[in-house]
Structure 1
Amino acid sequence: MPLALVPASRARSRSFLLVGSLAAIAVLGLAGCSAEPTPEATPDATATAAPTDAATDEPTAEPTPSIEPGTPITIDCETLLTPQDIYDFNPNVSTDPGFEPAEGSLAALALADNGIACGYLHQTSNELMNFALSQPSPEQLTLALNAAAASSTPVPTYGTPPAVNGFFDPKSGEVQVFTPTYWLSATSTMFFEPGDAQTLVNAALSHLPE
């Protein structure tokens, strides 16, 4: 028996169904092969701060200006004031073997600045006297001269400025004499007025090193 022929319209309908099914399968296959989307990079939750120079320079103390030392004095006490000079001043006065300058005194300052300090003792009254000589730096000599001028009374009889500037403080019996090079000082309770030390000042100035 011959096969029954399939109507053309039914054949076309089956073809459309087949093509549609294949197309759907192809679409599903392509969808299954697509790469998963790459997640976008997200900024770190905590940002790392750029390093900063937290160290701060601590303030440094200003350097203390150094004081230029004085030139060493090359003469001794018996040259500054000879035994005859002391005798002419007062026969009862002689060298004090136990002399030590008081801290902060002009004699102590002279010793600290490469100078000399000479002590004398009245053998009857035990009164003390000292003479000191130093050769400070020009700057220190000027400072000392200005300080003496501000605190003491000028004494023209000790010498004529600017070659010699003399001062006397009656409260302390303190003598200060300045030349362009040297600082001569003396202190004693035997000095009540400038004239009491006049002969010794004259003698000491005449013996200063050249």
Structure 2
Amino acid sequence: MPALVTSPRIRPSVSRNSRRRVAAPLAAGLLVLLALTACSTDSPKPGSSTTPSAGATAPAPGATDAPGETPTPTPTPEAIGTPVALTCDQILTPDDVYAYNPNYGVAPDFEPTSAAAQTAVKYDGVACGWLNQTSDATFEVSVTQPNDVLQATLIDQALLGGKAVPTYGTTPIEGFFASSGGVGTAQVLSGAHWVSVSSTEFAEPGDAQTLVASVLSHLG
């Protein structure tokens, strides 16, 4: 039996030119894909940190600074008076009044009329009045315990249209006398007390000397 002669298997082959034609479109497609990938990577995504969100606002200048402390305003000192715990008989006793003039007695329904006595009542002081039973003349006495602010105001007012009087007492007592509208007023600062004595009968500082000395003797 004759031997079979087998023909070698012929494998389909692709020419180099054909391979090149196939590879070229693949390479081009790969480049396009890489370019698209790069673009999608570099472009900011909506809502990312590089894109401001809706409603976002830039920080106001200095908004990140720590708030400073607000300075506490210094309160303005006020004129006040400490209540005077004295009665009219303690400020000027009946014997004191008799020694000054026996015609004087306590004025009924007394209301202060002098500016000094009204100021004393306003600042928790005491104001008292006596009436001359013969002439109907009156005199008023007041005592106040002012703080430094009120004390400075009282001194300024006493010097306004008035003068300092050294005869009412030695330092640290300060005395003042003024006359206005026919009324003479003696005022004295003695320690913590401010004393005033007013009357139509006081034409000069010496006219109030006796009453001023009597009042000061009871204040200690």
TM over 0.5: yes
For 2:204, which of 186, 193, 196 is the aligned residue?
193
Q: CA 1:60–1:95 in structure 2 vs 1: closer, same or farther (change >3 Å)?
A: same
Distance 1:139 1:58 in 2: 28
User: Between Structure 1 and Structure 2, how many residues are aligned?
Assistant: 191
Gaps of 5+ in 1: 1-14
- How many angstroms does 1:66 deviate by? 4.6
8 Å Cα contact 1:162/1:180 also seen in 2: no
The runs of 5 or more residues in structure 2 that have no matched partner are 1-12, 45-49
CA distance in 1, matches of 2:52, 2:16: 53
Q: How much does 1:87 deviate? A: 3.4
Shift of 1:164: 2.9
Q: Is 1:50 aligned with 2:72?
A: no
Q: Are the aligned partners of 2:81 and 2:150 in contact in 1 as well (CA < 8 Å)?
A: no
Task: Evaluate the alpha carbon distance shift between residue 41 and residue 108 of structure 1 in structure 2; reply closer, same or farther with a 3 A threshold.
Answer: farther
Percent identical among aligned pairs is 37
* Contact 1:95–1:121 under 8 Å retained in 2: yes
Q: Find the partner of 1:25 among 17, 22, 26.
A: 22
Superposed displacement of residue 78, structure 1: 0.7
What root-mean-square deviation, in Å, do the aligned CA atoms of Structure 1 and Structure 2 show? Answer: 3.7
Per-residue deviation at 1:137?
Answer: 3.8
Mapping of residues 1-210 of structure 1, within 5 Å: 18-33=15-30, 34-35=33-34, 36=36, 37-39=38-40, 40-41=42-43, 44=51, 48-52=57-61, 62-67=74-79, 69-70=81-82, 72-101=83-112, 105-123=115-133, 125-137=135-147, 140-141=150-151, 144-145=154-155, 148-149=158-159, 151-159=161-169, 161-171=170-180, 172-208=183-219, 210=220
Q: Is the 8 A contact 2:177 2:184 kept in 1?
A: yes
Q: Give the distance between the partners of 2:70 and 2:138, measured in 1 at CA.
A: 52
Offset, 1:162 = 0.3
Which amino acid counterpart does residue 22 of structure 1 have in structure 2? R
Deviation for aligned residue 1:135: 3.0
SS of equivalent to 2:39: coil
Q: Structure 1 45/155 Cα, relative in aligned 2: closer, same or farther at 3 Å? A: closer
